[in-house]
Amino acid sequence: MAMPFEPGQRVDDFVIDACLHSGGMARIYSVHYADPGRHFEFPLVMKVPRMTAADGAENLVGFEVERQILAVARGAHVPRLVAAGDIALPYLVMEYVAGATLQDWLDAAPRRDPAEIARIGALVAGAVHDLHEHRVCHLDLKPANVLMRDDNEAVLLDFGLSWHAQTPDLLADGQHIAVGSHPWIAPEQIVGVRGDPRSDLFALGVILYEMCTGELPFGDPQTTGGLRQRFWMQPRPPRQINPDVPEWLQEIILRCLEPKAERRYASAALLAFDLSHPGQVRVTARGRADRGPGFWRHFLRWLRRRATYQPSALPSPGLARVPIVMVAVPHDDVREATLEALRQAVRRGLGNRPGARLACVTVVPPVSPVGDAGRPNGVELHQRMLTRLREWSGSIGPGDHAVSCHVLESSDVAQALLAFAQTNHVNLIVMGAATHGLQLQRFVATVPVKVAMHAPCTLMLVKPSP
């Protein structure tokens, strides 16, 4: 293993084609099966950890961690694992994913349009949420480890430092404190805390900051003291560096960069939601700031936190899955009994889970922008329904829940609701049950039936009291 493989060399069942990448931890080769009768519908690459005398045991540990993670994390956001070698000849053969990394994207243009940054950020946050659903924390997110596929999906790479809830954590001993890429590592990782999904949200905040400004919020520290500055140091607001950054995007970024994990987003799905719906982001002084704190404020933060930083408690499995609840509110012909039944169902769905989000959605038919005689135009109808949704959501009652209202325009109500739920990682859909009899529903698929047939999550159908 001291020398790299050569094109044409056979490694177990595979033949080396070419070296695609040679990094500090591993080499990547394109490969194919030696048996011409065996093939996959996608191209293959082989990842081989460096194992020379100058390389430490971390490379081999990282190989074993990545093998464990790829065996359990499945879906569109991770490469598919095909084969793995043993400890004597370690390698991973996996799907080759075509596309460009976010590092390529940054190198091509350090600053982009905020809407494009938010769109890409939402895709990456969605990929991270999918990973967290498999009970995996990446813990080494950075632009070079995020690839945008040709079909515009985000794929996460390099799981050598990751953590899984149901496999032994090979990096959990005292020799591996602060393991990770220094510019993106979360404060709790610096003191050796692993397994908090909110650590990945901190790294996403660093990535978004760099996408907006072309700079790293905490630089690239090479010492423990430099790393610990993020316990107390508040980075310059992105708007101070790039005035074109909107307030809502700065609000999102700085929330991700909070030193205490409990003050960040509770889940990657909630982060993706805000990035996808900027008009629903509640902007505070954090988002409006155009300059960072002065010397004395930083000095006081340093005095308070330099020796007393305590990481946030790890979220329990129940709290880690902070739900996004979507309620479908009919736009016309609605009885008060129906609205009250929906209110009660939403209260049950939200429960006492702090941080849960409620998305109130109504679907209206396509309307001419100028309107017809005696009918409102599209803008008027949209504003009217938005006002009605806000009034209705306000009647649900107080709670520690973010609420947003959305008016969708579609001639297919069921499809519009399903698409919203799928795109926004909704955990629970609440909607009224069909009022037609079962006999009629055998012949006519009502909106609730269509949603029930294809819902990507739990569905709660409610009927008003007679």
Report the distance separating Cα 132 and Cα 130, nearest Å: 5
199 contacts: CB under 8 Å, gap ≥ 6: 137, 139, 186, 188, 189, 193, 261
137 contacts: CB under 8 Å, gap ≥ 6: 131, 162, 163, 164, 194, 195, 196, 197, 199, 200
End-to-end CA distance of the chain: 75
Active site residue 220: no
Scan for tokens 């993020």, then name that residue. Answer: 230
| In contact, 50 and 58? CB cutoff 8 Å | no
| In contact, 94 and 14? CB cutoff 8 Å | no
What single string gives the DSSP state of each residue in 354-399?
A: TT-EEEEEEEE----SS--TTS--HHHHHHHHHHHHHHHHHTS---
Centroid of chain to Cα 224? 28
Centroid of chain to Cα 425? 10
| In contact, 183 and 219? CB cutoff 8 Å | yes
Centroid of chain to Cα 251? 17
Strand order in the sheet with 154-156: 99-101, 146-149, 154-156
Catalytic residue, from 12, 35, 140, 150: name it. 140
Phi, psi for residue 444 in degrees, rounded to 5: -125, 115
Q: How many CB atoms are closer than 10 A to CB 116? A: 12
Secondary element (H or E) of residue 79? none
Report the distance separating Cα 93 and Cα 75, nearest Å: 17
Residue in 86, 87, 68 with CA at minimum distance from that of residue 78: 68
Residue in 282, 272, 293 with CA at minimum distance from that of residue 420: 272
Take residue 307 and report the two structure tokens written for it: 């020796």
Take residue 222 and report the two structure tokens written for it: 């090479």
Q: What is the CA radius of gyration of the chain?
A: 25
Take residue 196 and report the two structure tokens written for it: 């908090």
Identify the DSSP state of 259: S
Report the distance separating Cα 142 and Cα 140, nearest Å: 6
| In contact, 126 and 272? CB cutoff 8 Å | yes
Question: Could you give the residue numbers annotated as active site?
Answer: 140
